[in-house]
Every structure is written in structure tokens, then in C-alpha cells.
Chain A
């Protein structure tokens, strides 16, 4: 059951799929642990957290813009994408803030990550617009690309800008369904994009047991 479900994990990229470098459960768990250890993020679910039937939970899905078939009125193409991790950003007082979707990648070199990242940005834009339609406001969600290796170093500083979102959407117009790209929406999205390079030795960067126990104990007091 589990093996069958794993084929459906995370974003289904249309390009470079043969080397999309799905991170796998253990790698995703490492990133989850690192994010948790910052106490700025709180990850509640992973694509590998399966229900009793061996399926990922629906909340891992991010609905996408889709073309509407004028004959049937039905959506055509992908109606949602799944991310590897889903959690929350935590506010100053530890209360949950915006939802965070995390796409995890396991690379030992830059590879075709830049191309995949562009499609990921188009997916984020599509999901952001779709969710905005549902709530008639900018949705309370943010996105993170968490990878084990840096990429696109000649444009690295611009990877989370509105211009980069625009360029990504132009490369993947199918991700926008019937919608036209709007720069103002990209500008709302850009500050909600995170890019994290996760060192393979990240475990060694986390606090040790004694400090962790003290922090957990304090958190228990604050949140119990």
C-alpha cells in the first residue's frame, strides 16, 4: 500500500521528471526536523504521513488553477498538486500563523533544479491565486523550496522575487488555467516565498539534548 502511494508524492513536474529528485521519507523527515527545531515553523504533516488506507491526506493538496472545458464546464488537467510537507509559521507568541507548504529536494549537485524551481514557482502562483479566489483576499499561505544543494547561482538572489515568478509563469502558462498573469499578485506572493539550502549535516547544527529538553520544558509550560 505504502509503495503504491509513494508514486503520487509531491509536485508532479512536467519537465525533468526523470530526475525530479524526490527526497524520500528519510530526507523529508530530516528537513522537517530542522524546520521544527527553529520553532519559527511547525510542521504538522508530511506527504509520507499516510491514512489507514495508505493514502496521503487531502490537506497536503494545493488546489490549482485549471482550464475549463467550454463544452462540459469541467476543469481540465491537474486540479491540485501535493507538497512534501505542510505546517504553519508561528507568531511571536508561538500561536500558529500562515500555512506553509514545503517542497523538498535531494540533490548532490545543482542539476536541473533551476528548471524544476521555475515550475514550482508557477505551481505556487497558481495555488496562491486559486486560494485567493476562494477567500476573496490574499490567502494566508507561504511556500518553501528546501533543497540539499544550491542552484541557479547566477540568479540566486532573485529567485524569490515577483519578476522570477512572472518569468516562471511565462514558461509554464498551462499552470495558470484560463487566468492571465497579474504582477500585483506576484508581488503579494514574492515575500511569502522561502528558499532554504539544507546542509546534510543539519543534525549537527541543532541544539543538543540538554538545551532541547530545557526548551521543550519551557514550551510545555507556555502551551499546555
Chain B
């Protein structure tokens, strides 16, 4: 088996906008998000102008991915409470929901589970922006969607390799594509001008010790990914456990007891989100 040329992979991935399967709303949304000067008002109007999008945003915002005790009933309220960065991430999450469901069974559940764990770990370690970290968790595996969309047969083989050889999916990806979903995700994140921290976490969630911009956030999502796999919730491409990076574990400073508490707090949210469709 020969590895693909990574330049070919990158070229095809970066032309993904041309794929008919990319929903129109995503393209419109990207235009809104890409604009660095966009205001909360403009985003609010954009969402409110699309009833289907409004419903999805409200469902998402009232889910355990965000920890709002009260019910948020208006787009304006959601946008003001969450702030620009988090809303952008939420919109991305809502738009890729369909794509995720179509490209890999269990990926959406894995992603939402990672969002939930990310949020809880962020709160437990005193991070100031748990909602932002939650969104990082939600979108960390978005690169897999792009790979499956552009290279469905190759990815299918990578999934088989993973199962037969007992490889974590990103190792199987590396063998086939000469790159992984982390890099692929970050190419698109940069192209589509995702918020900077989100882009960084997408790139470094498997190697959090290597980022200089988001060591804490990347470590949180890195651990969240591991915990959601340990819990057996969703399907990220394999049924294995990647080892935790010691630097990430030490940075977060959690004890066994704290992790048990995290699992306990996540349990209810995971049950509620099992039914979450957008």
C-alpha cells in the first residue's frame, strides 16, 4: 500500500466548497463568520432570518453542551449570552451536524460527548471560558468529515485497517493519507477563518504538548476525547484508547477522584444528549 501524496490530499480538501454535499447554509454562514468585522447584531439577524437555523441554534444552546440552567428562548438572548466567538463555533457545529451524521455513524455522538466532557473539565480546572472550550470539543474531529467527503473509499479502508491492525484511527489515516484529521481539520479551519483558538485545538488535540497558543484548551479537549472513548459513548473511528499525553495530564493536575466526579457529572448530560437531533 502506498501512501498518498499529502499535497494532493491538501489540494483536494481545500476544494471542498465545490462539493454538492456541502449545505448551502454552510457557505452562507462561512461568509458571515469569515467577516472579521461582523457584529452580534448581524449574526443575530442572520440566524433569525432562517427559521430552520433558528430552531437548531436554540436546541443546541439549550442542550447540555452549554450549561444554561434557564431556557433560552430567543436568538438575541443566545447571541448576547454566548458572545461572538462561541456563537460562531455553535453555528459551525449546527451546520456540520448533518454532514457528520452522513459521514460516520457515531461521530456526532462522539463530538457532542467530547464537548460535554470538555466543558466539565474546563469548569473543574477553573478555566474562564468553559463554553468556548466546549465548542472546541464539539468540532475537534471535523477533519474526519472532510476526509470522508473527499476520499470515501480510502477512508473506508483506513477504518478497516484500524480495526484489523488495532490502530487508533489517526495512525491509520497517517498510513493512508500521509496526514491526519487533525491537520486536515486545521487547513479548513484556517481557510474558513474559524476562531483562532478553535483552529489551534483542532490541530493539536492529539499533541497538546506542542502548541504554544492553546496548551490548556488543547489538553482539555485531548483528555475529553480520551474520557468519552473510555465511557464508550459514540464512535470516533476506532474502539481503542489513545494514551494520554503526560504533559497534558500534568498540566491539568487532576486526581483519580476528580476524574470519577467528571464521569459522574457527564453521565446525566450524555443521557439527555442521546436524543439530541437538530
Are A and B part of the same complex? Answer: no
